[in-house]
């Protein structure tokens, strides 16, 4: 069976590319299973400190492969990570989506499962589900209001109309807009910069930032210690201080 994804690891960055360009990288059940398994491997690989999600052939992802669904009756939902192999349990490690072309419906929901998003200047992003009598239940209507102003999120959710890369950047939905064909390179640059930092500290900082939206300020200072105390007591915290004093690059142990 031909794989629906490609995997690459270089300089502490794992790249997962959906490789089904003939269907605009739409995801069927076998591909969702492959994505979930690949993300599990990245999470368990100590050499991988940051993850990039992208698509081949000038496309990011068209969401669910409806032809495959019709033929098999199988939705691209995994037991471990939910729809598309990622949206219900995204990686704990920093994750960046590199978007070329359109990220509509499930494609945008996959991008929203990432921490950062880089898009090509000709990309479009949207949740067209309501125009098809559906709701974006793979994280779209849940996550979009946490990433952009409420009024803009509701506009996108209720009209189903896509927005341009430029507008996505203006409202803070994406981190960077780059010339077409260069989104992956820029995402890898960001991932490499993240991977240069202490991996335990980065994971803990991400976990606190993600969890903090559910915490009151009064509780947050105590609740964050679950993540931050082990970092403070780690070998890497001591190494960071030594490297600063000795004016050299730190050598992280992730411990």
Q: Would you please indicate which residues are annotated as catalytic (active-site) residues?
A: 109, 129
The secondary element (H helix, E strand) that includes residue 221 is: helix 217-223
CA distances from 76 to 36, 61, 68, 89, 225 (A): 11, 13, 9, 14, 37
Q: What are φ and ψ of residue 190, in 5° steps? A: -65, -45
d(CA 214, CA 222): 13
**Of the candidates 120, 97, 119, which has an alpha carbon nearest to the alpha carbon of residue 110?**
97
CA distances from 17 to 39, 44, 148, 165 (A): 11, 18, 26, 21
CA distances from 199 to 32, 127, 150, 195, 223 (A): 27, 33, 33, 7, 21
């Amino acid at each position: 069976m031909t794989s629906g994804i490609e995997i690459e690891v270089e300089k502490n960055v794992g790249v997962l590319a959906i490789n089904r360009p003939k269907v605009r990288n739409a995801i069927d059940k076998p591909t969702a299973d492959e994505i979930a398994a690949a993300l599990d491997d990245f999470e368990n690989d100590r050499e991988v400190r940051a993850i990039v999600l992208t698509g081949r052939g000038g496309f990011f992802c068209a969401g669910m492969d409806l032809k495959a669904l019709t033929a098999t009756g199988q939705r691209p939902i995994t037991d471990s990570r939910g729809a598309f192999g990622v949206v219900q349990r995204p990686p704990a490690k920093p994750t960046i989506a590199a978007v070329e072309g359109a990220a509509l419906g499930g494609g945008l929901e996959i991008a929203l499962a990432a921490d950062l998003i880089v898009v090509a200047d000709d990309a479009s992003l949207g949740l067209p589900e309501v125009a098809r009598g559906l709701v974006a239940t793979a994280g779209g209507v849940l996550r979009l209001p946490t990433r952009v102003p409420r009024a803009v999120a509701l506009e996108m959710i209720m009209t189903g109309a896509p927005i341009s890369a430029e507008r996505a950047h203006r409202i803070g939905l994406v981190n960077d807009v780059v010339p077409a064909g260069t989104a992956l390179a820029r995402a890898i640059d960001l991932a490499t910069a993240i991977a240069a930092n202490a991996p335990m500290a980065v994971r803990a900082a991400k976990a606190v930032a993600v969890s903090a939206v559910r915490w009151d300020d009064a509780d947050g200072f105590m609740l964050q210690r679950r993540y931050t105390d082990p970092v403070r007591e780690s070998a890497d915290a001591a190494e960071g201080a030594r490297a600063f004093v000795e004016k050299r690059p730190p050598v992280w142990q992730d411990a």
